[in-house]
Chain A
Amino acid sequence: MDFELSDDIKEAVVKAKEFANKYFTEEVAEKSDFNEEFPTEIVAISKKEKVLDFSNPWKVLVTIEELVRRDPGLGISVTISAFGAEIFMFFGNDAQKEKYMNPVFAGKRTLGLGVTEAGGGSDVAGIKCEARLDGDSYVLNGGKMFISNGQIADHFLVLARTSPPPSPEKKHKGLSVFVVDSKSPGFAINKLHGKLGVRATNTAELIFDNVRVPKEDMVGEEGKGFYYIMTFFNISRIYVAAQGLGIAHGALDRLLEYSKKYAPVSETGELSENLQLAIAEIATRVEATRNITYKAASYLFKFTPNPIVTSMAKFYAAESAVFATKRAIELMSLHGLTSDLERFFRDAKILDIWEGTTEVEKLIITRMMLKEGGA
């Protein structure tokens, strides 16, 4: 067992740090947050400078962690352009990989993933969006809610029902995944405004009104969409855990800085014990989050994913991010409230919600453990 990162991964950390130092200025971060504006320019530069090296998933993981540690909204915006691309990697055919996946990994296109609907996100199998075969194409009707990259993606991977469920208990059957071009006739996109956090990211509602999708743009086999999406979530949740790790670590950085600069000290020059214990607790959580996230990642990156550990990492990282930002603001008082930490606090809460709520992750862990007999 070796807890050291290899030299090339360490280089990726340094590269991400340098990029964030250069481009994630407080001015830009604040403006993107205030105006709910996607940082188009920075994302373009990040693609040009190949900040995300998709050839090595460890590099992607540590880059997310490091960028988000500097600013969650900008960090996520820079690292979310290929959201969903692993679905092509595992289930797409060669033509789809060539046409859709490669340009995304090359930074030339942006992808979005449409699973959640207004009626529900946790209950993925309960979606209502329909795709009906008509000649050489499927006709898509329905809508998707809260879709990241909604206004900026060139294509979306969309989960839709292609056949009725065989029984109420088997709702996960009969769902399929399609690639939908954002410029398709009948496809409307409404930006969602007024998010609590991650306001630099772009979120929208998608509406499909008789949108035609060529047959060849179905990914994988008809009826297997639920399985594809769940497989994808077992990948993406590790990256969400990295987001949580970055946020919690960012909160720790800020609390430590405050402790050195502003916190009251005793006559002997010591910080209050209350503050010392809080720092220790947050730091321990950061370390624990890192260990569980890297463990989940090491299973996945060796192609032996462990969904139990993945869900543990995802929910624990989310809770740690929320916990760390809350405690840091409470302790830093007005210094926390008036620094970028307040943004971290707002941003952190999304991690409890997206890509499987914290409650759902916990249910997955126990149900799978009971089924499989342990992590």
Chain B
Amino acid sequence: MEEEYEILENTVKDFNAKYVENNSLKFENESMGKEFVKLLADQGFFSMMGQSGEGAADVKTLSVVLENLAKSVPAVAVKTLLANSFLSLVNDPKITEAVANGSKSGTVTFSDLLVGPGQNGSLLLSDGKIKGEKQFVFGSDSDFIVTLLDTGELVLLKSGFTAGKKLKRLGFRSIGFSAVSVNSSDYDVLSKEGRKVLEKLYDQLSIPVAAISLGMSEAVSQKGLDYAKVRTAFGHYLKDFQPLAFELTSLIAEMEILKRYFEGLISTSPSRKEAMFLKHKALALAKDISKTSLQIHGGYGYLEDFGIEKFYRDSMALSVLFHNEEHEMEDLSTLVFETKAGFV
């Protein structure tokens, strides 16, 4: 790994040790609190991506940060990803400054790309007002929301919206997730070709999302390794039982290969196909490795105190909030076959 990334990795490690690890249950389940969000912002973590409208965003340093943040509390990494996504689309200096320094928060509704037409609510602009309801808003507790109108414009909602009842909370429980009712005349139109802009940003998140998955995989596999070395059953350390040792080893082999691939990608200019390969495999790995590590912990894995079950939930939540199996496999198949594939 390049020296620059190693320094960054150590910075995040120190940050985790100092501010995150002791509060992990709270940050995961309740709220991160304004003070902590400010600390996170003070590290410069919220504005690492640059403006995605101006060509290729810089997702490399961001990805290294996310990978390492995800090792302690994946929700912190995801919060950082949302802030970066937001700042990559918004230009208003007052707003960008406030979000970058953590005094305000912003989110982007990717759900428009994840569920079918008409399943994500409806927002319409008429007589200078945006009205309607948007479903599945991840980060619905934010001060600002970037979202799509039915007519295709990407808009920044600055006020005039309220979050509804919290939706079910499989993962990232400290981040708001609900429908949002909108009745707002306080907005900016960011682009007339909103879906295209959103799709471009979503594509650029392939490596950052993979980075979060890899960070989760590293953390949860380490917990599995550590536990298997100290816990005994039938007079043997768990590490000595083939079903556990082989399964975890095999998944760690996969993880190490993906990490190499990840490091390779962030030191070059990855193609869309390569970035999607990584995301596809890293998301699946995070789910598999969390499951194995939970299983190694037996009953303790099922309790939140051991810090395993959150990875089991979060890895699944991540693979739904930032990924859609069918859409992405259709795209990826088309890239692999070099002709339209995966559609009948």
Contacts and interface: CB of A to CB of B under 8 A. Distances in A.
Contact of A275 (B304, B317, B326): B326
A264 interface: yes
B309 A196 contact: yes
A353 B295 contact: yes
B77 interface: no
Contact of B320 (A123, A275, A329, A352): A329
| Interface size range of chain A in the complex | 35 or more
* Chain A CB within 10 Å, residue with most, of B233, B309, B312: B233
Contact of B313 (A145, A272, A346, A362): A346
Given A329-B316, A337-B168, A338-B168, A196 B302 contact: yes
Interface stretch (A65-73, A83-91, A114-122): A114-122
Interface in B293-332: 294-295, 298-299, 301-305, 309, 312-313, 316-317, 319-321, 324-326, 329
A303 interface: no
A197 to B, nearest CB: 8
Contact of A326 (B303, B316, B324): B316
B170 A342 contact: yes
A343 interface: yes
Contact of A353 (B136, B301, B312, B321): B301
Contacts of B114: 333-334
B326 A272 contact: yes
Contact of A336 (B25, B294, B313, B320): B320
B288 to A, nearest CB: 10
A55 interface: no
Interface in B266-311: 287, 291, 294-295, 298-299, 301-305, 309
B293 to A, nearest CB: 12
A111 B7 CA distance: 57
B119 interface: yes
B253 interface: no
A334 B295 contact: no
Given A334-B111, A345-B170, A359-B241, A326 B287 contact: yes
* Chain A CB within 10 Å, residue with most, of B177, B294, B316, B317: B316
Contact of A195 (B167, B287, B303): B303
B325 A331 contact: yes
A273 B333 CA distance: 14
Contact of A330 (B111, B169, B313, B320): B320
Contact of A146 (B299, B305, B313): B299
Given A326-B316, A337-B170, A346-B313, A194 B326 contact: no
A333 B295 contact: no
Interface in A117-158: 120-123, 126, 145-146
Interface string A318-343: 00001000100111011111111011
A274 B324 CA distance: 13
Interface in A334-370: 334-340, 342-343, 345-346, 349-350, 352-354, 357-359, 362
A117 B344 CA distance: 55
Interface in B32-72: none
Contact of A121 (B168, B291, B299): B299
Contact of B321 (A274, A337, A354): A337
A359 B244 CA distance: 9
A3 interface: no
A334 B309 contact: no
A338 B116 contact: no
Contacts of B250: none
Nearest to A332: B320
Contacts of B298: 121-122, 353, 357
Contacts of A350: 302
A189 interface: no
Contacts of A357: 295, 298
Contacts of B235: 123, 126, 168
Given A120-B233, A123-B233, A353-B295, A346 B319 contact: no
18 contacts: A121-B298, A123-B234, A126-B233, A126-B234, A146-B299, A262-B116, A330-B319, A330-B320, A334-B114, A334-B115, A335-B115, A337-B316, A337-B320, A338-B177, A339-B168, A342-B169, A345-B170, A353-B301
Given A123-B235, A264-B326, A335-B115, 18 more contacts: A123-B234, A126-B233, A194-B25, A196-B313, A322-B291, A329-B320, A330-B316, A330-B319, A331-B326, A333-B115, A333-B325, A334-B320, A337-B321, A339-B168, A340-B168, A343-B168, A346-B170, A353-B298
